[in-house]
Amino acid sequence: MAIPIQLKHVLTQATTVEQLGIPPTLVTDLMFRMLFNEGEVSVARLCDVIRVYPQIIDDFLMQAQHDHLVEVAKAGSIRFSYVYRLTDDGAQRARDSIERTHYVGPAPVDMRQYEKAMLLQTGERQPVTAQQVKKALSDLILPENFHRRIGPAVNSGNSLFLYGPPGNGKTTIAQAIGKLLAGTDPIWLPYALTVGGQIIQIFDPSLHIHRPEDSVAQAGGSTPAQALALGEVKVDKRWGLFQRPAVMVGGELTMDALDLRFDPVAKIYQAPLQLKANGGMFLIDDFGRQPISPRELLNRWIVPLESGVDTLRLDSGQTLQIPFRQLIVFATNLDPLELVDAAFLRRIQMKVEVHRPDVTMFYRLFVKMCETYKVPFDKNGFMYLLKKWYQEPKREMQSVHPRDIVKTIVSICAYEGVPPRLLPALIDEACTIYFVEKQNNAI
């Protein structure tokens, strides 16, 4: 499909200083810090790290050489093979730059360019199909047509609330949604942003996984992001093509992680989690068990969820608005009505309860786990487990139990050096280890 002209303007390779859309000093200071850190640096190396068009780098170096800030350490047959080093005056310029920030990496992108690119890419996303959602959930044993509760939430790209008793797959379902999004059309994201003269680092290697451009071409991509990867335009190297990110946090989440965080050592800002998750999914697992109250956490999301815009603040007091374009998923074991009131829940579009398995579903889960861990399934052994450890003690079944019990049996048998089997004695030993029984008051 044709690439929207606006997206071309944002992502096309800048070949002049003016087209970069950022103050030239941001690039020159990056060069000086690299030269100071590494001693002697080639033009090619500067281009690889700063990710700016080679001619721009060469023009800056020529001017710096004219100003006696750098000198040629090694000459080559062409200027792009030259190696440079700092003069004494250049070293002082580098020290002054390091006082402001230690950042060395891809040159940042202007916040307005980022906003345009995000709105264009998230506004034209292809909806996931029922077949794709079924496939994403195919490794899970779920009630019939469960995918119909998940698919519309994913396509809405807004919010989803997963609730129900523990151990029944809420986190696993959310992770499957993240993988589903990662397998859809990739997204172009900048490595860093600049606003108010400050640098905000977005790229996180643990969250942002590169998608090779040739793999998109082979797949015959047709969205704007994919079309750019097919060679219709030359993309600015300050942007990378990534799988749609999936950010997952649990009870450790604090409000600080949702705000810009200034690193006093590197002297740059680290992007908050929701900014890193833009274009993908943000899962808040164990909702209600964070150090902050559920009401306080939901209050933080009211405006972004309704407006699609989040507001952040620099230490200087300057505020900036960024696109809030992600599927935000809350997962909790607690009663939603005890966590927050109905008015808050109305702001979350889709609410899906994940029930405990019934006997039929529990049976299917157990068979699947036996296949997974190569334990011969024995129906008599399963019925013994059901009667002795569930029906008699009136224990509630959880979806996680079959996996954990089978794994425990495998571990016991591996320790003894015998093949794993569903024998009553082994089932009793595994369940005694796994379940915590109520104790009487006697010591």
Residue 124's pLDDT is 64
Residues 143 and 33 in one domain: no
Specify the range with the lowest mean pLDDT, choosing from 156-160, 256-260, 290-294: 156-160
- What is the C-alpha radius of gyration for the chain, rounded to an integer number of angstroms? 27
As a whole number, mean pLDDT of residues 19-29 equals 95
Is 159 a domain residue? yes
pLDDT band at 443 (very low <50, low <70, confident <90, very high): very low
Is 442 a domain residue? no
Write down the pTM of the prediction: 0.84
DSSP helix/strand/coil, 210: strand
Residues 349 and 310 in one domain: yes
pLDDT band at 25 (very low <50, low <70, confident <90, very high): very high
Is 443 a domain residue? no
pLDDT band at 213 (very low <50, low <70, confident <90, very high): low
Where does residue 266 rank: exposed (0-12), middle (13-18), buried (19+ CB within 10 A)?
middle
Residues 202/190, Cβ–Cβ less than 8 Å:
yes
Q: Considering its fold, how many domains does the chain have in total?
A: 3
As a whole number, mean pLDDT of residues 378-399 equals 95
Residue 189 pLDDT greater than 50, yes or no:
yes
- Domain holding 156: CATH number? 3.40.50.300
As a whole number, mean pLDDT of residues 111-136 equals 86
Residue 408's pLDDT is 96
Residues 429/412, Cβ–Cβ less than 8 Å:
yes
Residue 231's pLDDT is 53
Range of the domain at 384: 359-434
Tens digit of pLDDT for each residue in 356-382?
A: 999 999 999 999 999 999 999 999 999
Specify the range with the lowest mean pLDDT, choosing from 152-156, 357-361, 392-396: 152-156
Residue 439's pLDDT is 47
Residue 438 pLDDT greater than 70, yes or no:
no
Where does residue 338 rank: exposed (0-12), middle (13-18), buried (19+ CB within 10 A)?
exposed
Is 414 a domain residue? yes
As a whole number, mean pLDDT of residues 134-156 equals 86
Residue 406's pLDDT is 97
